[in-house]
Amino acid sequence: MSAHHPDDDHSHLDAMTLRVRALETVLTEKGYVDPAALDELIDIYENRVGPKNGARVVARAWSDPAYRARLMENGTEAIRELGYAGRQGEHLVVVENTPGVHNMVVCTLCSCYPWPVLGLPPVWYKSAPYRSRAVNDPRGVLAEFGVELPEGTEINVWDSTSEMRYLVLPMRPEGTEGWSEEDLAALVTRDAMIGTGLPLSPEEVPA
């Protein structure tokens, strides 16, 4: 969804999100919280630190067949090898995209999310529209995110729970033979690891 996320109108925020926002407003009015600093902190964990962990996992799997095999067999343990573990990362299953299968992750009951490898969940992931439509119309949701798949591609939607969370292993982009893990990690986006996006192509990497 390049320009619009399903919850941009904020009309379907859950009760917990509304309570947090109310508390943030009170703390801001009393001068205890700097909104700009808070937004920066959230951005760090939602878009920078967390997803970089997952990108490293993906890059290692792309470049090391033995690690990929361990990752697919036991995601939790393989991810722990790289030092990523903790709350909401205890039971991680990795699902792999192939030319004929595309995987997508949702949490229909709440917003269970693999924090150790993806950081904080984005607002749209927690929204009611995404949580319902991802199951009922995954192809339509993907199209809104700008992901157009061939008609014959099978789409698997994985429903995360408090007992099991999922991470998508996207397909390695073409033209990256011989790339280092660091360079490969730069291609991995957060949305590609949720399944609502694809990795960047070599041409799309910022100079």
Q: Which residues are catalytic?
A: 107, 110-112
| 180 marked as part of a ligand binding site | no
| 111 marked as part of a ligand binding site | yes
| 63 marked as part of a ligand binding site | no
* Close Cβ partners of 194 (under 8 Å, ≥ 6 residues apart): 104, 105, 118, 125, 168
Strands 92-96 and 165-169: parallel
* Close Cβ partners of 21 (under 8 Å, ≥ 6 residues apart): 13
Q: Which residue has the tokens 């995954």?
A: 138
> How many Å apart are CA 50 and CA 119, to the nearest integer?
4
| 11 marked as part of a ligand binding site | no
Secondary structure tally for the chain: helices H, strands E? 11, 4
User: Six-digit token pair at 203?
Assistant: 């041409």
Numbered residues of the known binding site for Fe(3+): 107, 110-112
Binding site, residues?
107, 110-112
